[in-house]
Amino acid sequence: SQQGEEDPQALSIQEGENATMNCSYKTSINNLQWYRQNSGRGLVHLILIRSNEREKHSGRLRVTLDTSKKSSSLLITASRAADTASYFCATPLKVDAGKSTFGDGTTLTVKP
Amino acid sequence: NAGVTQTPKFQVLKTGQSMTLQCAQDMNHNSMYWYRQDPGMGLRLIYYSASEGTTDKGEVPNGYNVSRLNKREFSLRLESAAPSQTSVYFCASTMGRGGYEQYFGPGTRLTVT
């Protein structure tokens, strides 16, 4: 079964608005990663947050991590049409750090 | 640097045929992975190799075999293809086990009829 699950499954917003997507996971982790996938392409790493961090920023991206609730959120501020993509969270399993599991993703559509 | 490369980009097989998907990375990474992605879904791990000479099963290994030929190359073999193996296959690599960002190849789109 998958470790991480994203919510919502799909999100449609206007350019300039903020987009928030969430990830919940089941077992303890040492870090959580977010990836973006443009249609027909491979995944691209966006940001990594470690279990001892609560918030991390990278440009227009803001990621939070709440280990007590086993959840993370990705906020994209001032969205652009180019942000249209699917977004996945990935969690390396602590018991076997060689394996990461991915959720089914949130499909974000940003309308110009 | 080319990053992670995969061949072929597209392939159509008949049920029962065999084929090997090739993956190579030029980043001197230790760990390599094979995933499959079905429409509208996330990635599921088929096999991974934590280091040269080692391979381990992932979530969905049945029907597949892998070879870590050297540090650069990690191949995935379908011995007898089935329609259920129609999917997009991604290879990825990372510096070490977990905790590091994974770099993905462009994918191989496989259709089994």
- What's the whole-number mean pLDDT along residues A99-110? 89
Q: Do A101 and B59 touch (CB under 8 A)?
A: yes
Beta-strand relationship, A43-50 and A31-37:
antiparallel
CA separation for the pair B5, A45 (Å, rounded)? 17
- The pLDDT tens digits of the residues spanning B41-82 come to 889 999 999 888 899 999 899 999 999 989 999 999 999 999
- A-chain residues near B92 (CB < 8 A): 42-43
Query: Which among A41, A97, A105 is the nearest to B106, CB-wise?
Result: A41
A97/B43 CB distance under 8 A: no
* Chain A contacts in chain B segment 52-111 (CB below 8 A): 56, 58-59, 90, 92, 97-99, 101-107
Strands (E), chain B: 4-7, 10-13, 19-25, 31-37, 43-49, 56-57, 64-68, 74-78, 87-94, 103-104, 108-112
- Higher local confidence (pLDDT), A96 or B50: B50
- Whether B11 and B108 have beta carbons less than 8 Å apart is answered as yes
Residues from chain B that touch A103, judged by Cβ atoms under 8 A, are 42
CA B85 vs CA A13, B7, B40, B113: distances in Å? 35, 17, 15, 10
Residue contact A100–B102, C-beta within 8 A: yes
pLDDT in tens, A15-59: 999 999 999 998 888 889 999 999 989 999 999 999 999 999 999
